[in-house]
Amino acid sequence: MELTPELPGEPIKYIDLGSGRGQASRHVVSSNKSVTCTCLNLNRNENREARERCEMQGLEKKIDVVDGTYDRLPDKFTWQFNGCLSQDALVHAYSKSQALKEALRVTKGGGFMVVSDLFRGDGPFVSADELKAFASAYMVNDWQTPQQSVESAKEAGWANVEYTDFTDEIRLSFQKLLKKVTALVQSGKYSGQNYDQLLSYRNNLSRRVFQVDEGVFKWGAITARKPYEVMFIREPPFEPLARDHIKFPPAPLPPVQSGHVSSIPPY
Ligand SMILES: C[S@@+](CC[C@H](N)C(=O)[O-])C[C@H]1O[C@@H](n2cnc3c(N)ncnc32)[C@H](O)[C@@H]1O
């Protein structure tokens, strides 16, 4: 994935919500010169490993690894980031709406959000028990369908909210892994505990493929932008066009003093 600044060379500072061991951010930051990142993650052991790996790759000045929860981000983060990314992590939020509101708070006006995640499926033959078992195995409290997540993001205040479905890609990825693991099981090279682990991994993978086909879950990305709030200090010479991510004040505008127009974003 590549992050492109709106103006060439402009720095991009983003936050990775639920960054794990930081693989995704190390990839993004090392391939984009003007990008820096704050990796925020709950698990301190993973964070320790993330810091060590950043140092090994010489990225410690570009990636700051912070212990914390995306359910309640530090106050000092308000309006600090050009955007936020989250990969396979917001699905564990205690409240998805709350996490999406926090993500909005720390993002500057016009900033981006990209959340790739597992979502609740809506297959016609999927039972409530099956959904419940999946959610509890994956430690999911507030499991939403893609459409419910789109609505939660809009209610949190995000604009231009869209869902792009990548479920076919996760099926393919599971199928490829299953093929590799099956070959290892059949190779005759493994025995004892290792063999048992491989068998259990293979069974889980084939169950996942079945669940994708059944419609137990979906995998995809929610993308959105934080709206700008534009305040005119003089009446503009023409009526501003309505745009999804640009909000104009509802109140009557002050009288014209000159033909000049200015806009001040609130940060
Ligand atoms: C499946 S891992 C994904 C990690 C990483 N984003 C990646 O793609 O490799 C889920 C991560 O979410 C983190 N996590 C879960 N709940 C969290 C919370 N409330 N706040 C911050 N991180 C959380 C866990 O620590 C875990 O590392």
119 CB-side CA count, 13 A: 23
Is the Cβ atom of 116 under 6 angstroms away from ligand 1? no
Ligand 1 atom having least distance to the Cα of 40: 21
Cα–chain center distance at 129: 28
Low-confidence residues of the chain, pLDDT below 70? 1, 249-267
Is the Cβ atom of 96 under 6 angstroms away from ligand 1? no
Q: How many whole angstroms from 141 Cα to the centroid of ligand 1?
A: 14
| Cα 68 from Cα 66, distance rounded (Å) | 6
Q: How many whole angstroms from 15 Cα to the centroid of ligand 1?
A: 13
Structure confidence at residue 241 (pLDDT): 77
| Cα 64 from Cα 143, distance rounded (Å) | 29
Structure confidence at residue 228 (pLDDT): 85
33 contacts: CB under 8 Å, gap ≥ 6: none
Ligand 1 atom having least distance to the Cα of 70: 20
Structure confidence at residue 244 (pLDDT): 75
The answer to whether the beta carbons of residues 222 and 161 sit under 8 Å apart is: yes
Q: How many whole angstroms from 147 Cα to the centroid of ligand 1?
A: 22
Helix, strand, or coil (residue 140): coil
Structure confidence at residue 78 (pLDDT): 97
What pTM was estimated for this model as a whole?
0.86
The DSSP letter of residue 100 is H
Q: What is the residue with the minimal CA distance to atom 26 of ligand 1?
A: 20
Structure confidence at residue 261 (pLDDT): 46
